[in-house]
Homo-oligomer: A and B are copies of this chain.
Amino acid sequence: MYLTQGLRRSAARNPNRTALIAHGRNYSWCEFQDRVVRLAGALKNIGLGSGDRVAILAHNGAEYFEFSYGVPWAGGVIVPLNNKLPATDLVYILNHSGTRYLLADRAFEPLIEGFTRQLESVPQVLYFAPGDPESPYERALAAAQPIADQLRGYEDLAGIFYTSGTTGRPKGVMLSHRNLLWNAMSGIINYQLDESTVYLHVTPLFHAAGGSRVFTMVTAGVTNVILPRFDATEVLAAIPRHQVTSMLLVPTMINRLVREPELADHDLGSLRTIAYGASPMPQSVLAEALRKLPGVGFCQAYGMTELSPAATFLEARYHVLDGPDAGRLRSCGRPVWGADVRIEGEDGQPLPDGEVGEIVVRGPMVMQGYWRDPEATARAVRDGWMHTGDAGYRDAEGFFYIVDRIKDIIITGGVNVASVAVEDCIHELDTVAECAVFGIPHPDWVEAVHAVVVPKPGRALTADAVLAHCRARLAGYQCPRSVEIRSQPLPLSGTGKIMKAELRNPHWRDRGA
């Protein structure tokens, strides 16, 4: 149960087939494995010891794959860094994780140089740059001797994935080889991956959703097409060029993709599966996606970094607008292999079907804990159950529904409003491209429901039209009290989630909240 075994297996089966396509270059499995083994040798050369942390600061690329396998091959622990974070957070993570080695895209050199003085111990940095055979990274690989796999595996720590919590300092989620391999095996089953799959990596690999798929896809032996970041035009060009069959997106990306004017210019016939996660799919977005990509099966995974990351899965057959299976679309699915999932009340006891409580998960995907934070670990993982902080319920057929992030519910006049319900309603309007709903201060109700709405290009939309639509469909207390029409796109996080905090905080700035 070594992550590296998946690479050895795929390389032994198909040494000459394409493993990676990145920055216009193809790497065979044999070549990819050779580079991994050399990177491991290079890390040993600069002193890496068993369990040492190695970080990476980069956009998506082949180096991310080499890092993900070369570090455990050499006996180390990976620490992928969110490349959207400000220097203060990066400094915090590098200090907190005790990282001694850093692989970095040269684009980040000024940033790294700028914060080096603030580090408790200065890591050794190997810079690389796409297409530069003379970078320190490439020179270290060329000079290194291959080394034997140090066989970290089973319950050994594989990586520390720092989550950017909405409050407080980032927390370092410790995932073991077993955690990530279990996720890989259940992913292979759920996504029906095999050696004919061509997978497009376009969500950031520093996040566990994308990063865990490095391991899933190498274990499955698929061909990996890697784009540095999400760009709808680039994605549309890459699909026919590489005959991509499968990819992961977040709903916002799917929305942007299907609204791309040049969508119809590309032959997307190779595409069979689009998985999405991180947030539910508005029905209107799915309707448009199904209409414009009729051959594609959509499926949803729900989880979090602490769950390696998948906990539930909603199959493609439930992504339909008509028929008996249509009602499941609001669900995040049913537990993945090995996951016990239940809904807990505030007293920690399981609740009956239909009642809303906290979603908790037990099984081989639950993290080992938060790095150097036993208190936070003890709060999150109790008796083997990971407490997700998400509110939801289970229906009588065993499907789970996320009502909202517990912390994200708007409490207005003493009643709870799930912002997702309001967002769904606004998305029904044909003129709406994007929207975000959250609470803003109100003198009587503490919070009032507020909506920010972006119209589709060239379409007219007024706040009154949004309000009228909501009033016709929602309960009075759920309706927005105010609507802001915004012309530029909503701000997205590095992982493609709408950054509500950025929209909400200005409203609360003078309230100390």
Is the pair B337, A13 in contact by a Cβ cutoff of 8 Å?
no
Question: Per-residue 0/1 for A1-45: is the Cβ within 8 Å of any B Cβ (1 yes, 0 no)?
Answer: 100011011001100000000000000000000000000000000
A149 → chain B closest CB, angstroms: 9
Q: Answer yes or no: A172 CB below 8 A from chain B CBs.
A: no
Known A186-B185, A189-B188; contact A9-B337, beta-carbon cutoff 8 A: yes
Interface residues of A in 180-202 (CB under 8 A from B): 181-182, 185-186, 188-189
Interface residues of A in 322-365 (CB under 8 A from B): 334-335, 337-340, 363-364
CA of A6 to CA of B336, assembled, Å: 10
Q: Answer yes or no: A219 CB below 8 A from chain B CBs.
A: yes
Is the pair A181, B5 in contact by a Cβ cutoff of 8 Å?
no
A175 → chain B closest CB, angstroms: 15
Is the pair A219, B337 in contact by a Cβ cutoff of 8 Å?
yes
CA of A364 to CA of B154, assembled, Å: 8
Is the pair A13, B398 in contact by a Cβ cutoff of 8 Å?
yes
Interface residues of A in 238-287 (CB under 8 A from B): none
Is the pair B5, A340 in contact by a Cβ cutoff of 8 Å?
yes
A1 nearest in chain B by CB position: B364
Known A5-B363, A189-B189; contact A181-B334, beta-carbon cutoff 8 A: no
Interface residues of A in 378-437 (CB under 8 A from B): 398
CA of A189 to CA of B6, assembled, Å: 14
CA of A239 to CA of B189, assembled, Å: 26
CA of A6 to CA of B186, assembled, Å: 13
User: Which of B181, B339, B340, B364 is the one whose CB lies under 8 Å from A338?
Assistant: B181
Interface residues of A in 145-184 (CB under 8 A from B): 154, 181-182
Is the pair A398, B340 in contact by a Cβ cutoff of 8 Å?
no
A367 → chain B closest CB, angstroms: 14
CA of A6 to CA of B181, assembled, Å: 18
CA of A36 to CA of B113, assembled, Å: 62
Is the pair A12, B334 in contact by a Cβ cutoff of 8 Å?
yes
Is the pair A338, B398 in contact by a Cβ cutoff of 8 Å?
no
Residues of B contacting A398 in the complex (Cβ-Cβ under 8 angstroms): 12-13
CA of A188 to CA of B187, assembled, Å: 12
Is the pair B334, A13 in contact by a Cβ cutoff of 8 Å?
yes
A15 → chain B closest CB, angstroms: 8
A11 nearest in chain B by CB position: B398
User: Which of B1, B185, B219, B364 is the one whose CB lies under 8 Å from A363?
Assistant: B1
A365 → chain B closest CB, angstroms: 10
Is the pair B189, A335 in contact by a Cβ cutoff of 8 Å?
no
Shortest 6 CB-CB contacts between residues of A and residues of B: A1-B364, A12-B398, A185-B185, A188-B189, A5-B338, A13-B398
Would you give 13 A-B contacts (Cβ < 8 Å), ordered by A?
A1-B182, A1-B338, A1-B363, A1-B364, A5-B338, A5-B339, A8-B340, A9-B337, A9-B339, A13-B398, A181-B338, A185-B337, A219-B337
Chain A interface residues (CB < 8 Å from chain B): 1, 5-6, 8-9, 12-13, 154, 181-182, 185-186, 188-189, 219, 334-335, 337-340, 363-364, 398
Q: Give 13 A-B pairs besides A1-B182, A1-B338 with Cβ atoms closer than 8 angstroms.
A: A5-B338, A5-B339, A5-B340, A6-B337, A9-B339, A12-B334, A12-B335, A154-B364, A181-B338, A185-B189, A185-B337, A189-B189, A219-B337
